[in-house]
Structure formats: structure tokens, C-alpha cells
Amino acid sequence: MTDLSRIYDISIDKIEISEHNVRDTQPAKDVDELAASIEKHGLLQPVVLLGARTDPPPYKLIIGSRRFLAHRDLLAQKDERWRMVRAIFAGPIDRVQACVRSLAENMQRVDLNHADAAKAITELYVHYGHDDSRVAEETGMSLRRVRQYIYIEELASGRMKEKLRRGEVTPADVKRVLEAAQGNIRKAEGLLDLMTQYKLTGHEKKRVVEYGTTHPDADADDIVTEARRPRVEQVIAVSLSKAMQAALELAVEALSMGPEEVAAQALTEWLSDQGFLG
Amino acid sequence: MISKAKRLVDDSQRAVPDNAIAALIANTKRARRKLSILQVAEWIEVAQDHLGSIEAVSQRIGISAEMLREFMSVGKLCPSVKKLVANREVDSLDVVYRLSMLRPSEQVAVAREVVAGAVTSNDVRFVASLRKRAPELDIQEVLDRVKKSRNVKQYITQFVIPSGTKLADLRERFAQLLGDENIVGLEAGCGTGTLVLSAEGMGRLREAARSKGRTKRVLVDYVVKGTR
């Protein structure tokens, strides 16, 4: 039986990164910063290896690839203190368990590349019978975040995913164009291309979604042209009691939003809850 | 490292782990912080020294490691911007985090606009995002692009018109107070008036109300009745 609480010192040359580790793209991101922290504090959290200590090396690393790479960098500076890596053994766990553990661990730290996370989350989603709540529960991620990954993975085209993988666009941009194009994948691709070409600001991107959803017949060029044009926004002054003013100020501070944005959101939610807003 | 030269938390306070935990719970789990972001970041550093890692601090106080790292991003600000954070002229965590993504000279330019109230935290988020995608642009160009792309705001105030009041007279009274160029429209119908103001006009109305110790609503009613 594997003792998960027992920490071993394993020579770095006996460890290799497992194919079950979900961090596949840019594993070396921000490793310098981590190496500096390990040099200062030591490796406080052991890496996790598959199988048992008694198995023959090389040991497969499922959690802690960045810590492992930071150790390797420190060792490359001819400092023999870093030859041994603190590690625990997870025992003979299957592919899904390894995926869950690796994903849960990595999502808490430096953000995974979108493609790596989406691949792992979709695999778990399929494994758990399309139960997104179960994926959220197992990985410790919010349901909203899990749904965003699944939404993009299911609806985005290969070309859009490739742009995501290369870091040319953000998941939020892909979600925006999918919403604006309302199921028309060619239009969504066109919108994404134009968004990148014109380097739209956040205000303009918001208008892409607004105009796209309210004008389903508009093509990608029209939507972006309209989105690049500031629109007149009318603000209605409302009298508030002192208590409401104080509450609004609290919300503004806590949410880092403007008072009008908070009020608009509250009103939108209320109108929607009451069935006045479709 | 937040500040090597000047520590905000003294050594005797640093020595007790519970001091750090208490300070962090009181200043990260409430809407109103007593401490500046710089002070919170220093307490996170103290807690990290005691507990070993950001993750351990996160588990102990029940705040996400992501949020703690956002506080720590204040360490990446240049000295003059850190000073604004210390004085709480820049006090939004989101703004500090976005500023930390910019180069020092850019941080100064954007922080100056934040302090002047010329950009919101949303704008700063869009500036940081556009900066990343358009490195060829000067930061002032990025700021201008974001500001110009905002929606144009107009403010609407409605009021009851006393019988016999002429719309032209009403417009003249509002123009005297707010400037004719700031009145986008003034309409009347069914005994109700609708005044549409530019952002500048609303600013003037706010100022006038403050100087007279009235709410905007009350001031508008006074103007309508011709008794301001």
C-alpha cells in the first residue's frame, strides 16, 4: 500500500514528466520566479510521482512539472543541493484519476495554457457522462469556468482553437465571437479575424456582442464596423436613499466596477428574474 | 519583494504569525480595507515566510492564491506609482494588478489618469489588454484609443413642469446654470419635462448641487420652479 504522507528524496535524473500531466504547453512559464522561491525557501511542497518507491525508475511525474523544471535549472547552475527532489508516490492510479489530480493542482497555480486545460476538462466531462458539476467538484474549479472551457471546446472551430493555442486570442474573445455569431461558425471566425486585425478595445468587443446578438442578419464586417463606433448611452438619474447609496458605494469598492455598471447589472438581474427581460 | 528599503510592518509584529493572519483576514475578506494594498502585500509576504508558500497562506485565510498574487503584484510597480498606492490615491486591487503588467513609464502615465479620474478600472483593464496585443503603439495612443472607444454618455433627468411654464424659459434657466452647450435636449409632454445632459453638464449639475448643499434632484426642481 502507498503511504501518501511519506516524503522521499529522489534523484532528479530518475524522474520524467508523465504524459498524464496536463501541463503540455509552455511548462517552463515563470519557472525563474519559482526557482528563486525554491532557492529561498527550499521545495516546500513535494512533487507527486506515479506508482511506488519500489517500482523501477524512471518515475513518472504527474504533479509539479514547474517545480521539477525549476529544480533542474538550479542544478544546471552547478549547485548539487538541488540534485535530490522531494517527492511523494501516488500509487497505481488510473488515467482519469491522474488527469483530475494534475488538473486540480495546476489550475490553482499559474494558469494552464487554454488548450491543455480544455483538453483535460473535456476528457473528464466525457468520462463523467457530460456532468459538468461533477468535473467542477472533482477539480475544484468553479462551474462557470468549467462551462466556459466546455462551451469553447464544443462550439469553436479548429481554426479558432489553433489561434487560442498560439495565444493570439483569449478564451473570452472566442466566447464573445461565438455569442455574437449565434451559431454561424464562419461568421464567428470572420469576427475573430477582424477583432485581431483591428486590435479592438474592450469597449469595442462588448459592442461586437451587443450588435451581433441584436442584429442576427449583419455580417462580420458590419458588426465590427458598428462596434468601432461609440454609441450613445443614456443614463437615467434615480433618487437613492442614504442606505442604498452606502450599499452601492460598498459594491463599487468590492467589485471594482463603476456605480452605473453595478446599478445596471442589479437592474438587469431583477428584470430578468421577474420575467421582464428575455 | 515589496520594499527592501522601508518596511511598513515592524520586526516585532512580523515575528508573530497570527498578526499576519489576522491582518490578512481583516483586510482581504471585507469590502472596506483599513490597510493600503502595499501594506496587505507586506503582510502576505510575512505570512508566506511563516507558512512557507502562497498556497499555504491561501488555505489558512480562505482566500484564493490568485487574489493573493494580485495583491503581491504591487511589488512590480515603480516607486512613484507605489507611492500613489501607499497614499491610497490608487486603491483598487484590479487597477494595481493591471498596472503591474505595464512597463514603469507606462504605469506612471496610466496611474496619473486613474488619479485624475479620467479612466475607470474597466478602462485600465482594456489598456493592459490592448498594450499586450499592440506593443507598437505608444502608451498615450493606447490610452486615447481606449478612451475614444467608450460609449458617449448622456444623462437624463425627468421632472414635473408647473403649468404655464414655457420650454424656452426653462432652457434658458438650465443653460445659465449648466452651459447651453451641455444641454443635449429638453423636451416636454404630458406635464413632464425630460432634460438630457452631456457628461460635462452632469458634472456641473453635481457641482452646483454640492455647493448649494442640495441633491441634484432638488436642485433641478428649484430650477424648474424658477426659485434657485
Q: What is the pLDDT of residues A27-56, one digit of tens each?
A: 566 677 677 777 776 776 788 888 888 888
Average pLDDT, chain A: 84
**B49-72 residue pLDDT tens:** 888 888 888 888 888 888 888 999
Q: Which residues, in sequence order, are bridge partners of residue B155?
A: A235, B197
Domain stops at, among B148, B180, B199: B148
B92 touches chain A (CB under 8 A): yes
∠ CA A202-A206-A208, nearest 5°, is 115
Residue B3 lies in a domain: no
Residue B217 domain flag: yes
Count of domains forming chain A: 2
Cβ-defined contact of A203 to B146 (cutoff 8 Å): yes
Domain boundary among A70, A93, A116: A93
- The one-letter code for the residue type at B130 is L
pLDDT score recorded for residue A212: 96
Residues B107 and B159 in one domain: no
For range A138-156, the mean pLDDT: 84
* Nearest-CB residue to A108 (from B55, B146, B150): B55
Q: Which of B148, B172, B189 is the last residue of a domain?
A: B148
Q: Are B166 and B134 found together in one domain?
A: no
Minimal C-alpha gap between B207 and chain A (Å): 15
β-strand partners of A15: A59
End position of a domain, from candidates B58, B74, B90: B74
Which of A98-107, B5-14, B109-118, B139-148 bottoms out in mean pLDDT, i.e. has the lowest? Answer: B5-14
The alpha-helical segments, DSSP class H, found in chain A are 31-41, 65-76, 95-107, 114-127, 132-139, 143-155, 158-165, 171-181, 185-198, 202-214, 220-227, 242-255, 259-273
Q: C-alpha cell of B222?
A: 428649484
B142 to chain A: closest CA residue: A201
Residue A17: beta bridge partners? Answer: A61
Helix (H, G, I), strand (E, B) or coil at B156: strand
Interface-testing mutation among A256, A257, A260, with chain B (most B C-beta atoms within 10 A): A256
Q: Which of A42, A89, A49, A50 is nearest to A70 (CA)?
A: A42
pTM score: 0.67
Evaluate whether residue B5 is within a structural domain.
Answer: no
pLDDT (0 to 100) of residue B127: 97
Residue A111's pLDDT is what?
A: 59
Determine, yes or no, domain membership for A206.
Answer: no
| Residue span of the structural domain in which B135 resides | 77-148
pLDDT score for B5:
46
This model of the complex carries an ipTM of: 0.74
The number of distinct structural domains making up chain B is 3
Query: A101-110, B11-20, B129-138: which has the minimum mean pLDDT?
Result: A101-110
State the number of CA atoms in the 13 A half-sphere of B65 facing the CB: 14
